[in-house]
Amino acid sequence: MILEVATRLFAAMGYDATSTRQIADAVGLNVATVNYHVGGKRELYLAVMERAYQAEHAAVAAAVTEFQQLPLTEALHCLLDRYIDFCLCNPDIPALWMHRWLDDAADMTELERQYTYPLVSMVAKTVRPALESLDVDIEYTIQSMVWCINGFAKGGIPDAHGNRRTIHDPHALRRFRAHLHVMLHRTLGLPGNPPKLLASMR
């Protein structure tokens, strides 16, 4: 319960703006009890990020397994969809990383090496053999997709009226999926058109 509440608060306000007392109050415990169970604020944040990584790792590993069982073009688009689906179901995790991109918890520099690189490396190792003939930077392509998806999951897209359409808006999500599928398809120079079913009908 403490980890779940801490995840929500760190995702909403960032590590630097969240106090242990705020977490304790939200859980309904005193600070001493929170410290006893999880340690101080730093230890709590590290536990939250480890928990987020484990969830993301499981999702990426499952997507990689699925990738290996599909034709290349379909597999690439499916891989993209699986990460969008993960962020849709776990919106706090993209939010945690978005805060870090803005130098939140900047003194904890090891987290990107410990958590981000292994996931990017797993995907790159999976897709590189199929794309090695293409003139494309695999790691930067993966990171570009992650930046776009995390940004949309956290901040959404403003519409003509200034309202933010987020990943929880079905119409905005369909448009975002379609756009990202076209972007991936053209970046990699894949033959034909993006699969319409995967791109826009979820």
How confident is the model at residue 194, as a pLDDT?
74
Ranges under pLDDT 50 in the chain? 197-202
- Taking the domains of the chain in order of start, what are their residue ranges? 49-200
Query: Do the Cβ atoms of 38 and 47 come closer than 8 Å?
Result: yes
**Nearest-angstrom CA–CA distance, 90 and 82:** 12
How confident is the model at residue 200, as a pLDDT?
41
**CA-based Rg of the chain, rounded to a whole angstrom?**
19
**Nearest-angstrom CA–CA distance, 95 and 86:** 13
Q: Which residues, at least 6 apart from 125, have a Cβ–Cβ distance to it below 8 Å?
A: none
How confident is the model at residue 141, as a pLDDT?
95
How confident is the model at residue 196, as a pLDDT?
64
**Nearest-angstrom CA–CA distance, 134 and 190:** 10
Architecture label for domain 49-200: Orthogonal Bundle (1.10)
As given in the structure block, the two tokens for residue 32 are 């001493």
pTM to 2 decimal places = 0.89
**Nearest-angstrom CA–CA distance, 166 and 153:** 6
Q: Which residues, at least 6 apart from 13, have a Cβ–Cβ distance to it below 8 Å?
A: none
